[in-house]
Structure 1
């Protein structure tokens, strides 16, 4: 005989196809099902049946289901194609509602589970409970019955069903479902054992299926809506709530499961339980107080004790983890006040003073020479002092900074301060707790349009709207990602799957999130790739916006900006805002008693044209498929109306000739594509990422806590330090990886010293309210924009506007490399990136020459920045960074002038600084002192030993010699392109590895480097001519004058060898 808790698995025949069942008994049992699709038996098995049988067999072996009569309501549901699902066991009408719920969830696989642990967990809750807090990082929703499964929070990947005491677990890929349940079962057993005699808790947490607590605006929900509209409100909509407060709970003395309510907990310290997956103490970490253990330090000598300030004693990893666990499980703790560190301002002041000293030394030389010969003409050289000082300030700041790496304090690297976060924010009961809702009445501004000939006149109408405001809980986070033509399989999918893991963690912690993709390539890529992207977006519940392709023809759609990222995100945000306005109007109309009866007929005014392109295969959300239209119809209607609004606003006039030969103006409109209305609603916090990004699994709640803590409302951006996600692993990518990690660590050190955090444009959390507050009216088209389309450095422009509004930017390192970004895979892409930076810096500093007669040479943006209330040390640091590009760009021109001036006129004023002297100073400060300082920094922080760090830094010196030595001409072309208004554009950086050969790379080198090669060949010819008898003797520059030859020869050699020695495919000599 079999054991009573075991069931023998018997394979069942394969289904023929889903069909409709109309038996009266089952139809009466499930009246809410929109369609009764039943899987029919057949012996023709395929791969999907094998997966279904395997998952079901694993379930039985792991004792997921109770045997006997309870097993007929449990099963597995698997998606076999974008439009159909298959259930096992077959021919089970009780699984019809389960399949319909999975269809609405649109997940890859789902399992309905009934077990003793699930039954015990559900039975401990009161009917009003909306979730079960399994542990500090896992909150699982409770839905009343299986019909509400489609409205569940999708990213939690699990939901308890109260009506039949079951659990549904789902996953976005088949291979994840069994490990997902195994991990969850372990947590569930611990939860049941820990709470076996705890009174039942009635939580006031609102459920995701409850339409009366669903925000329909940014953080709002309407009471007293008509029934046909109230059911459509999105329960997972974003929230821009104020700081929350705990809601009151009620305790019940109901008996615990298994009859263990009388167990003496005082004896728990000696009880040990083995549940099959490991031994667990009865009093686990959620209950016992954690005593921080102090590491035993060995007694040191007096000499090392005296120098202990120089190198930090880093905490033991295990102890740090225990401290974090204690904070997570303990009671609420208030954040420590953040201090303003003044080391950064001190170093900036020293660097500026050193720059002024060098300028004064040059003036001193002029005065000494004037005293000797009385010639006052040399004082005309003073006019170049501002240029010399601007270029040399970066050199001086680097000199001071490198000395501080060796001799300055470093303890602040592990401490939180105003512009820097080294430690995770502490748990906050107000933020981490359950959400509540407060009723209020506000004035709502609704935008409407009236047809006026060929134009649409838009007006704003103010209307009072009664609504509920969310006052608690974790905020909704929107992940915004601009993409172009990147590979779906190699680039976009890994990034989305990484984001989905973080979204699942955040959902189980009690928050909500969504992905918002601004797809600039969807209307450009081939039809097959387009369909793959659309299916991928639908399967992962991704909201997306795709604007029309760029056209230079009259009346064509223009994608603004030289770098299209800013205008791409602006377009997506504009559509999202328009959708919110239309959604507010729909709800206001539905709230009106006169309009509630006509809500159904009002839908007839929706735009008839679809928001997405026509496809050959219908998606899971295709209208041809059975679905609950009332779930998201109000948001989909709002999206359709927003698309129509953007379409009407996009009209551009062009001149055409009619049949009579008369020239007339015709208005051309451009329709956007969009989908996933629910995910297009922007939350309180936005995470900006690139298409090639990896994020840590637990990072959303940290951002919510940091922005929600006391004083955190002033934080507009939390920029995380990023590690590198390598894909090619050749020596060029390895070199750029080393450089990127080094730069990021130096930025972390600078921010820890008190410097204002930079915003690099990705892997950063933005406060949506602050971004809106810093928005501006673009004079080019009169529209409100969040990102500047006129600047290549749109991230610096946004950061500057936020600073001028009084917000704070913060750099965070507590993710410890969890955020990863891709780097350039070819030298061409890296040079294009540096050109873009140089062009952007010149945009900020100078106006194009053609505008000098009206606006002057200095740009308005720089004038406002220098006159603003931004910290002085921030102005010094940003100025040194921007002028560093001019220093690199001047290398070729300066070396050539130095060769001619000293070679043809050796008796120059002492005010002139020779190129060889500059070369020696740069070698001392950058390769020598720079590598020494960074090696000491890594050692002092406890990150690496001295020898390993020194070897790592020294072995890349030749790489950077060729790279920085060959940058000059390329940066000069970018700077001159802006000054002379030359149209220079850049595409997106390549993110996939493209294998190449010698015969492919040589033509690419000639094409991309022909300008620098021509200039270098001309300089070589000049040097050869001046050393021969072609010119008169008094004009000759002899070859033994190495002080003139070396600087120019080094520049020429680096430019010629840059595309060769830094090209991995060429250096492999693969033909």
Structure 2
């Protein structure tokens, strides 16, 4: 019951840190490049953002006469003489020197050095500055220290043991095979280290018979070296029951065909290229849904026909005009009803099978015989998220996946579309650049939104939700570089160094052509496939090979969308409630798609085929576009255009909760998310009313959707989903109207009218009771949870979801009407970090943001009070079926910003 406790007592305090494709080269092969164009004057440097990278002042030195960073602290928190009282740069130097000496001591204790020259530990202090132990390795002109400087890693160590020497003595391949189909690179000598596959985090040096390991965290060096030694021994002696001949054969070859062979026996194992069969369970349920919908509508019109037969009033036939709206608003209700019974008693084996739109089993992995594995680009749009709290953990997760993929024989690069670089303070921007440089990350940053040119040349960040235009801009820069590289005349002796130099020149030309608007650095070339993620994402360590294998074996698939788990940042009741709701949504999506529905594309945690994305590009104002900037639902637009071009979208369910995404941390962000979705749904279907005379009612995108080759059941499912926003948005208005109609005209209304209380009761039965029972039993049947745990998890969050869904009607209708009436709405990026505020800080924020909601609640409450006590008896409204539905709307809207706000409910001061 801890989630209830949070309402009354503060949670335990926690520290929360708030065909353009050419030859692909690892990011490590790219020489340093200027990240910003040079300024023409010092005035530009002071007013126009970041200046060009310059040589940094040596560590520990401050500008003469500059203020002390500790000037605001007259008394230190540490005792006099403590080294922690030193200057920040000096303190960093001390810590680095202590760490590098400790690592060298551990290296000697573990007998990982023979005392030979050029063996030791190197540690990075700051960008371009390193320390080492022993100090004499710094003097080697082409040795370990210089190689690590060029490799640009945080920390590195040499490992010299007899086991490694013996192993390398008998190895004549450019790699050492390890268990699980992994391969660790072998380099001829130390001079090759700066051009190695950096994300493998280790390399054998053949001529010296040693191992070099590196890591982003110095304390992990020892474990990394130990694990590699253990992996070598396990590969040799792990299969004790096999003959020497078999062991030798596996040690030399390591056929990756074995990798993943124990992951299931799907039909793709037997014949990977055999077309996958469609499943007809969801189409069948959609047919039943339509049948029940027509039956319910028909039952109502049967009553109308009987009334007309009695009194001859043919005006009732006007009810025919509302049939489309009735079907649209009620379709999701009947679909949920049928779906619940399907989950209770229907088949579930399809959730562990590979079908046309769903992969329940990991694919047969590509072998080394296939050739070079495809290059993967991990694309991550970011804004003003915190570097330490949000971006850095995501990058470490990505690098672990890249490391595995490189050791399996592939290659990958990270491509960040940084929309905040030119907006944040210079110090933070420089910190981001240093971080990107250290982790071999390519990035592009565009100017801020300045349509009037107040800060220079006008620049427009198109779109209400800037993610699409951010990615378009970065990809546009990347493709311009590819266009320039296509013009390069590559001679017969062309090397990676030549390619890197050509790339550097092309990038600098693009930056110069944009006259300071574009900032860019690193490897921003696009690979065969794009894994698109958000800035607060965690990915499985071993996911890229499965992804590229499935895409290579299924050329008809343009998007492989992965189901996601949730990564929690706090333990607040609201975030955990939204976590439950998100998991519920993904479970329902997996069930629907596995049963035969078309897979959705949610815009992140998905692999896109770059060739397919290029095939549907278009030009706007002379610039190539891939993502739609005219709608907030750019992911739906992308999926629809790809499917219209003959491609498929597929859902991957075999990763479980390996992919993780963040959820809304506050009720403000979650409301904004629902508003954005509602706005996007209306934007997909209707033009604003003022444009109806010239453009018509329905958008071309919606017409294309209706005319597309998407299966009819899937179109019905999508329309049912969109209809939920209109049902939610109209709830407050229809309930208010019902209060007067039922309260004043009860008994005089046509029998066709269904009052709000009956609708409310039906919703409780279908969604709250039957829906939660069906979901709980489904999770039990697919062995995701025990039955008791699943049911308890579902029912304990009913109060939170009741308040939330009961309190968003006004906000959803605001978004729908804003688009319909042509009123601008804009949303910022969702907060990825928690900001703890006090009770007195939160109250004004709530009053400001929910002022209109509270006014509605007060007016509606006053109306009910007056309707009961301040009007003549003939006009009094005291019927329970009239009052109760409106009370639920008022209570839900009033309690939403208060009860679902952890910062307010904890009463912190």
Tell me the TM-score normalized by structure 1: 0.72
Q: Who is 1:575 aligned against?
A: 477
Do the aligned partners of 1:151 and 1:631 also contact (CA within 8 Å) in 2? no
Where 1:86 maps in the other structure, the secondary structure is strand
Tell me the secondary structure at the aligned position of residue 788 of structure 1. coil
The separation in 2 between residues aligned to 1:932 and 1:705, in whole angstroms, is 38
In the alignment, is the contact (CA less than 8 A) between 2:199 and 2:406 conserved in 1? yes
1:681 is aligned to 525
1:193 CA displacement? 5.4
Aligned partner of 1:501 in structure 2 is 400
The aligned runs of 1:1029-1048 (5 Å cut-off) are 1029-1030=870-871, 1032-1034=872-874, 1036-1039=875-878, 1041-1048=879-886
State how far apart, in whole Å, the 2-side matches of 1:890 and 1:884 are. 10
Quick one: which of 635, 640, 643 aligns to 2:508? 640
For 2:158, what is the secondary structure of its paired residue? strand
Return 146-155 or 107-116, whichever deviates more: 107-116
1:344 touches 1:755 (CA, 8 Å); kept in 2? yes
Please identify the structure whose Cα radius of gyration is greater. 1
- The answer to whether the aligner puts 1:107 opposite 2:185 as a matched pair is no
1:516 alignment partner, SS class? strand
Once residues 151 and 922 of structure 1 are traced to their aligned partners in structure 2, the CA distance between those partners, rounded to angstroms, is: 62
Determine if the alignment matches structure 1 residue 379 to structure 2 residue 334: no
Q: In the aligned structure 2, how far is the partner of 1:54 from the partner of 1:760?
A: 47
Q: Do the aligned partners of residues 636 and 897 (structure 1) sit closer, same or farther apart at CA in structure 2, a change above 3 Å counting?
A: same
1:364 aligns with 2:302: yes
CA distance in 2, matches of 1:363, 1:869: 33
Give the alignment of 1:282-293 within 5 angstroms: none
| Counterpart position of 1:1052 | 890
Q: Return closer, same or farther for 1:1044/1:766 CA change in 2, 3 Å cut-off.
A: same
| TM-score of the superposed pair, with normalisation by structure 2 | 0.85
CA distance in 2, matches of 1:104, 1:287: 32
Gaps of 5+ in 1: 1-16, 19-43, 197-263, 270-280, 293-319, 435-471, 600-627, 648-668
Q: For residue 1020 of structure 1, what is the aligned residue in structure 2?
A: 861
Instruction: Kindly indicate whether residue 804 of structure 2 is the aligned counterpart of residue 963 of structure 1.
Output: yes
Structure-2 residue corresponding to 1:849: 689
Match in the other structure for 1:827: 667
Residue 1000 (1) aligns with residue 841 (2): yes
Determine the structure 2 residue equivalent to 1:750: 592
**Shift of residue 882, structure 1, vs aligned partner:** 0.5
Report deviation, 1:48: 2.8
Any unmatched runs of 5+ in structure 2? Answer: 1-57, 60-91
- For 1:817, the equivalent position in structure 2 comes to 657
Change (3 A) 1:402 1:487: same
SS in 1 for 2:135: coil
Query: Do structure 1's residue 91 and structure 2's residue 136 form an aligned pair?
Result: yes
The partner residue of 2:263 within 287, 305, 324 is 324
Secondary structure of 1:718 counterpart = strand
Q: How does 1:282-681 map to 2 (within 5 A)?
A: 323-324=262-263, 334=272, 338-429=276-367, 432-433=368-369, 472-554=371-453, 556-585=458-487, 587-588=488-489, 591=491, 632-645=500-513, 647=514, 671-676=517-522, 679-681=523-525
Q: How many angstroms apart in 1 are the aligned matches of 2:418 and 2:899?
A: 36
How far did 1:961 drift?
A: 0.9
Higher strand share: 1
1:107-153: CA deviations, max 9, x gaps? 01122333222222322233xx4323233432122222211211111
Offset of 1:47 from its aligned partner?
3.2
Superposed displacement of residue 1022, structure 1? 1.9
CA distance in 2, matches of 1:534, 1:407: 55
The 1:785–1:1061 alpha-carbon spacing in structure 2 relative to 1, beyond 3 Å, is same
Question: Cα distance 1:760–1:334, how it changes in 2: closer, same or farther (>3 A)?
Answer: closer
- Distance of 1:56 and 1:286 partners within structure 2: 33
Deviations 1:347-402 (A, max 9, x none): 11111121111222222222111111111111112101111111000101000001
- Contact 1:582–1:641 under 8 Å retained in 2: no
Q: State which of 886, 889, 903 in structure 2 corresponds to 1:1065.
A: 903
CA distance in 2, matches of 1:961, 1:267: 66
Residue 991 of structure 1 aligns to a residue whose secondary structure is: coil
Greater relative contact order structure (CA < 8 Å, 6+ sep): 2
Give the CA deviation at 1:334: 4.4
Question: Could you tell me which residue of structure 1 aligns to residue 179 of structure 2?
Answer: 135
Deviations 1:881-932 (A, max 9, x none): 0011000111100001111222333312122211111111111110011011
Find out whether 1:950 has 2:785 as its counterpart: no
* CA–CA separation in structure 2 for the residues paired with 1:325 and 1:55: 43
Whole-angstrom distance in 1 between the partners of 2:613 and 2:580: 33
Q: Distance in 2 between matches of 1:364 and 1:879?
A: 26
Aligned 1:195-344 pairs, distance under 5 A: 266=243, 323-324=262-263, 334=272, 338-344=276-282
| Aligned position for 1:159 | 203
TM superposition shift of 1:948: 1.4
Q: Is the 8 A contact 1:334 1:428 kept in 2?
A: no
869-878 vs 93-102, greater mean Cα deviation: 93-102
Aligned pairs for 1:600-999 (under 5 A) are: 632-645=500-513, 647=514, 671-676=517-522, 679-709=523-553, 712-778=554-620, 781-906=621-746, 907-999=748-840
Q: 2-side partners of 1:1058 and 1:670: how far apart?
A: 46
- C-alpha distance in structure 1 between counterparts of 2:431 and 2:422, whole Å: 13
Q: Distance in 2 between matches of 1:288 and 1:134?
A: 8
- Greater share of helix: 2
- Shift in Å, 1:629: 8.6
Q: Distance in 1 between matches of 2:305 and 2:849?
A: 48
Q: Secondary structure at the match of 2:262?
A: helix
User: Taking structure 1 as reference, are residues 47 and 474 closer, same or farther at Cα in structure 2, changes over 3 Å only?
Assistant: same
- For residues 837 and 131 of structure 1, do their structure 2 counterparts lie closer, same or farther at Cα, with a shift above 3 Å needed? same
Secondary structure of the structure 1 residue equivalent to 2:326: helix
CA distance in structure 1 between the aligned counterparts of 2:449 and 2:795, rounded to whole angstroms: 46
* Counterparts of 2:333 and 2:94, CA distance in 1: 69
Deviation at 1:546, TM superposition (A): 0.6
Distance 1:819 1:162 in 2: 37
Q: Which residue is equivalent to 1:613?
A: none
After superposition, the Cα gap between the structure-2 partners of 1:284 and 1:484, relative to the gap in structure 1 and judged at 3 Å, is same
Asked whether the 8 Å contact 2:142–2:190 carries over to 1, the reply is no
Corresponding residue pairs, total: 812
Q: CA deviation at 1:829?
A: 0.6
Does the aligned pair in 1 maintain the 2:365–2:545 contact within 8 Å?
Answer: no
List per-residue Cα deviations over 1:1028-1052 (Å, max 9, x = no partner): 344x544x1332x001111111101
Cα 1:99/1:891, change in 2 over 3 Å: same
Contact 1:87 1:95 in 2 (8 A): no
* Alignment check: 8 A CA contact 1:825 1:990 kept: yes
Matched, 1:57 2:101: no
C-alpha distance in 2 between matches for 1:719 and 1:944:
24
CA distance in 2, matches of 1:904, 1:853: 39
